[in-house]
Copies of this chain bind each other. A is one copy, B any other.
Amino acid sequence: MITFPSSELTDDELALRDQVRAFMADYRAQGHRLQLGINAEPDPEFSKLISRRGWVGMSIPVEYSGHGRTAVDRFVVVEEMLAAGAPISAHWVGDRQTAQMLLRFGTEAQKRRFLPRIVTSDVFFCLGMSEPESGSDLASVRTRATRTDGGWILNGQKVWTSGAQYADYAVTLCRTEPLGQSKHVGLSQLLVDLKADGVTVSPIRLLNGAHHFNEVFFDDVFVPDELLLGKPGDGWHQVTSELAHERSGPDRFLSVMPIVQLLYERQRARDLDLEMSEMLGRLFAMYMTFRSMSLSIARRLDAGELPAVEAALVKDMGTEFENQAVAVLRRLVNAEIDPRGGEFEALLADAVITAPTFTLRGGTNEVLRGVIAKDLIRNRRRVA
């Protein structure tokens, strides 16, 4: 069964929330503009700023210079940041995924080398997953590493690598054994230094002109043994076991919350007409519910579970909701949108243009639904 037992934040968690909330109120009062979720412009300075507050690499154990806090603590920080439109994308991948992956699969040396620097935002990661012909079918990667003295020689090409223009390392899924019967076998992940010889990063601009994504080319790049994540051949297992971390987060339903916030600020002192009330009420109900579901997953992560199907469900439903929310906001505005208008209009314009990407990032919703359906049917069979 797909379950989302509810839970409340503890007093300590509420106290953390208050701190982050106050910090972000302050940050905004300094004149920083709101940004839309993980589409925000990367801002390494901001990442360093909140690192100093202890809000990056929170769940990394103290022995690796982390804060030894919970997935829920991280959830609390992240949802406050997203709701307040903070520019969190620079440290995003390392904080959300790479740290977890290193903790679970990395060698001791890798942990000691990278984790402390994730905590201080002194090292940023990006993900080399998709390839030109692979899309959501990750296992069909063609990038390959061949054995050489003391390491691997990497050749191939990645696309949709967000942040490669400023990141230090790309966690790169590649084939380290020839393709056999199962395409899931013989894959590994390498931590590729993006400044190494043979690496070329080339920008892919989005339809709004923004530069999040890149193509990354590997041309006989030498990757030393110590940068192979875990054991050779474990790549597929590593990738799939982290999906619960990747998919369930508040970034999957809070992207346009800053626009709702601005609309709210315009409305709160006025009499709400019925239509505005109804639409806002429906949006509020959805936000409250997604938040409960996402928090539920964070609690289960803390309990050592990996609720990957639940995470896929939240991502599918949450990103569809984000699109509906943009449509509702447009309907409430009920006029042409001026992309050079005020903060509200400019953000809404950006949301209209980038909303189609919400249901594509991190596995298209069609693929996610396949994952969920398989689980539903398997569980049904088990019961029957």
Q: Which residues of B contact A275 (CB under 8 A)?
A: 274-275
In Å, the complex CA distance between A273 and B275 comes to: 10
Q: How far is the CB of A213 from chain B (nearest CB, A)?
A: 29
Interface residues of A in 263-284 (CB under 8 A from B): 273-275
Size of interface on A: residues with Cβ below 8 Å to B:
3
In Å, the complex CA distance between A275 and B273 comes to: 10
Q: How far is the CB of A272 from chain B (nearest CB, A)?
A: 13
Nearest to A331 among chain B residues (CB) is B278
Q: How far is the CB of A279 from chain B (nearest CB, A)?
A: 10
Q: How far is the CB of A91 from chain B (nearest CB, A)?
A: 44
In Å, the complex CA distance between A258 and B108 comes to: 73
Q: Which residues of B contact A274 (CB under 8 A)?
A: 273, 275
Q: Which residues of B contact A273 (CB under 8 A)?
A: 274
Interface residues of A in 137-183 (CB under 8 A from B): none
Nearest to A273 among chain B residues (CB) is B274
Nearest to A274 among chain B residues (CB) is B275
Q: How far is the CB of A54 from chain B (nearest CB, A)?
A: 48
In Å, the complex CA distance between A275 and B274 comes to: 8
In Å, the complex CA distance between A125 and B274 comes to: 51
Nearest to A278 among chain B residues (CB) is B275
Nearest to A275 among chain B residues (CB) is B275
Q: How far is the CB of A275 from chain B (nearest CB, A)?
A: 5
In Å, the complex CA distance between A119 and B252 comes to: 61
Q: List 3 A-B contacts (CB under 8 A).
A: A273-B274, A274-B275, A275-B275
Interface, chain A (partner B; CB < 8 A): 273-275
